[in-house]
Amino acid sequence: MENAVSLTKYLHQVKPREESYVNHVDRIQDLFLNEAKFGPVNFPNQAKAKQRTVYPPYTGESQSTSSPDGNYTKGDLGNPYNFPEGFPVLQNTFLYTKDGEKIEGSEIKKGTPVHFVDPADLHKNGSWMAQVSLKGWDKKPDGYIAISHVEKPPGQGQKRVAKGTEAQEACFVYVKKLCADRGLKVAPLPLGIAPSSSTKPDLIMEIDGKPVQFEIKGTDKRDKEITFFDITARRKQNRKSQAGKEELDAVAELFIIQGGPTNLKNALTDPRGKWYKLRKKKGNEGGAFHAIMEYSKSLNSTIGYAGDEKVVKSGKLPSVLKTTNETLMKQIHAKILEHFIKGGDDYFAVHNRSSDTFEIYNVNKKNDILKKKTLPQFTVFKLATYGGPSAAGTRVGFKIKFPVKDK
């Protein structure tokens, strides 16, 4: 158990920052309870001030702009209804009359879709009740159902839960729903969530009694590079940065041998040259990454570490540390998986902020309880500066493009 939840040793080789306290437990409880089920705010004839997405069809004109987020649609040919497939019930339940009397023989099994119909009026009989049809949204109603027994559509619920909250919290809700669909038991609250700017694991959940760890990255443009993590590079190492240096050197070696330009390879593989000797040097101001930096600086004085003369504040890396070479990227891909495993991660999650959707990929084959695809092979990989300097060092981002495979 202790090994399974081991914290990341060098996921981010950065100076610890001050962390503001956020009560993620309370926030997730509120998010999950509010987003898993329907409420009066999801019906057009109810809450007028704080209305959320409206799901039932509505053909009248007076409520045609009732949903402030634009997800409401009228049921007509020019503006087709968004949810013709209906909504599954969360548990075995029954239909009732408007007066609250149970309709004999009306039991509905868990998972059966029901369809809200027009007019989408609510009535309070112990709990909020709405008219539904078992045949379709444009059919005659069969009776009333407790709206708390009906599940919201995953896509829409997921979108709202991700707005205005931490990606870790939204990911927790998304994975919890995913587990429910697959019959996996999930602890009601996460084992751990990283505060903003923390170096702790982003999210740890308990699934079927075992800890499962997630690394989560957000992006506004999914077709652009995603920074998986960053490592601080400097001329002189400290105890914390040594592990990161070793990782940078390992990737730099691959560039030298497999995918770098010919002049780089020739300069750093000639045993008689100074760049080769610098590459093979141990300790401070030595190693493959430092050799590439110094060789590139000899060609362009603007390249260097944070604090170097004639170099921008954050530092500047050479363009040779970018590749689309498939052979090289396959080897780097293997290094990235090793990195995640060493850090205790089981899954890599991408939060697309523009669509508020998630992709979940496995990075540890020994713990794939969600049965997800392995992190796809990369289409572009590069090392580049990431943000400002950290503890007088240059933050080197591992920036990657890869195709969407989790659909």
| Structure confidence by residue, pLDDT tens digits, 233-261 | 999 887 777 888 999 999 999 999 886 67
pLDDT at 51 over 50: no
Mean pLDDT of the chain: 81
Would you say residue 364 has pLDDT above 60? yes
Among 11-25, 65-79, 150-164, 188-202, the range with the most confident prediction by mean pLDDT is 188-202
Q: Please tell me the distance from the alpha carbon of residue 80 to that of residue 64, in angstroms, as a whole number.
A: 13
Average pLDDT over residues 296-321: 94
Cβ-Cβ contacts under 8 Å for 71 (sequence gap 6 or more)? 53, 54, 82, 156
183 or 162, which is more confident? 183
DSSP track, 210-258: EEEEEEEEEES-TTS-EEEEEEEE-SS--TTTHHHHHHHHHHHHHIIII
What 3-state class would DSSP assign to 21?
Answer: coil
Q: Which pLDDT value is given to residue 13? A: 39
**Which residue in 60, 38, 62 sits closest to 51, CA to CA?**
38
Specify the higher pLDDT residue, 195 or 268: 268
pLDDT digits (tens, 9 = 90+) for 31-46: 554 445 677 777 765 5
Confidence of residue 11 (pLDDT cuts 50, 70, 90): very low
Residue 331 scores a pLDDT above 90: yes
What lies within 8 Å, CB to CB, of 352 at 6+ separation is 218, 219, 222, 358, 359
Summarised one tens digit per residue, pLDDT across range 198-230 is: 778 999 999 999 999 999 999 989 999 999 999
* 58 contacts 72 by C-beta, under 8 angstroms: yes
3-class secondary-structure state, position 352: strand
Average pLDDT over residues 72-78: 43
| Angstrom distances, CA of residue 282 to CA of 118, 242, 251, 273 | 74, 11, 16, 17
| Residue 305 reports pLDDT greater than 60 | yes
What is residue 90's predicted lDDT score, i.e. its pLDDT? 87
For the chain, give me the number of helices (H) and strands (E)?
8, 15
Mean pLDDT, range 369-393, rounded to an integer: 93
> Which pLDDT band holds residue 306 (cuts at 50, 70, 90)?
very high
Residues 379-383: what's their mean pLDDT? 97
Indicate the pLDDT class of residue 29, thresholds 50, 70 and 90: low
Q: Indicate the SS3 state at residue 55.
A: coil
Distance CA 258, CA 246 (A): 18
pLDDT at site 99: 87
Round to whole Å and give the CA distance between 225 and 238: 30
Query: Does the reported pTM lie above 0.85?
Result: no
Task: Write down the pLDDT at residue 64.
Answer: 33
Q: Is the CB of residue 32 less than 8 Å from the CB of residue 189?
A: no
